[in-house]
Amino acid sequence: MTWTLPNILTVLRLLAAPMIAVMFLYFSRPYADGFAMALFIIASVTDFLDGYLARSWGQETRLGAMLDPIADKAMVVIALMVIVGYSSMSPWLVLPTTVILFREVFVSGLREFLGDTAGTLKVTKLAKWKTATQMVAIAVLFSQGIFEHYLGMWSWGMDQEMVRQVLAGEIADELGLRAMFTGMIWSGNTGLVLLWIAAVLTFVTGFDYFRKAAPHLKD
């Protein structure tokens, strides 16, 4: 093993993936959402940084080439599982998540089957955009959980009519409920739109990989 700085960053990102779920075991919400979002954003930045440093410093290694996509997939899969698990299981969230998870498993299986010819499935620019869109969508969806729970905390003890009046501007908003509600709606909708875009890119790149692998699947 060659423990260069890019490889160390990749390994740290791989270790950070399960820690996203651990945040929800040891912290209550919305703190768990905040810690998970911060950890996910930091890990996502290392995804760009380790590749950039490896290329700039001439430190590209087989270890890094193997671990980098594994770390990316682990982050995305675990984060999406956590988000879906703590959501209302809306089909608008479950469907794109299912497409993304299926594609990751399918392409990983293709690479394993192809073995030495797996170089046929080189990462494309569109696949990199897919990964970037997934990461932004997940970070935004984590922020939606923060807004949602602060809205619930700050409106604790109010009946539904009072909350409605505050949000409608009929009575003074002394606690900032309208800001939390607006943040919840915008982050939720933006996160879903980005996740659907990521799901479309995921499907397109998955089909592209299957098309490239098809000649090697003939038996």
Give one DSSP letter per residue of 138-181, joined into a string. HHHHHHHHHHHHHHHHHTTT--HHHHHHHHHTSS--SS-HHHHH
Contact assessment for residue 37 and residue 140, using Cβ atoms and an 8 Å cutoff = no
Query: Looking at residue 64, which CATH number applies to its domain?
Result: 1.20.120
At residue 116, the pLDDT reads 60
Residue 201 has pLDDT above 70, yes or no: yes
At residue 52, the pLDDT reads 78
At residue 117, the pLDDT reads 61
Type of residue numbered 13: R
At residue 139, the pLDDT reads 92
Out of 3-12, 17-26, 117-126, pick the least confident.
117-126
pLDDT digits (tens, 9 = 90+) for 105-162: 888 787 777 766 655 566 678 888 888 899 999 999 999 888 888 877 777 777 777 6
Type of residue numbered 200: V
pLDDT digits (tens, 9 = 90+) for 36-60: 999 999 988 888 888 778 788 777 7
What distance in Å separates the CA atoms of residue 157 and residue 141, rounded to the nearest whole number?
27
Enclosing domain of residue 198: 5-216
Q: Which residue has the higher pLDDT, 77 or 209?
A: 77
Orientation angle between helical segments 62-85 and 5-26, nearest 10 degrees: 20
Residues 6+ apart with CB under 8 A from 87: 93
For 184, phi then psi, to 5°, come to: -65, -45
Quick check: pTM over 0.85? no
Q: Which residue has the higher pLDDT, 99 or 162?
A: 99
pLDDT band, very low/low/confident/very high, at 19 (cuts 50, 70, 90):
very high
At residue 200, the pLDDT reads 94
Q: How many domains does the chain have?
A: 1
Q: Is the peptide bond before 96 cis (omega within 30 degrees of 0)?
A: no
What distance in Å separates the CA atoms of residue 24 and residue 13, rounded to the nearest whole number?
18
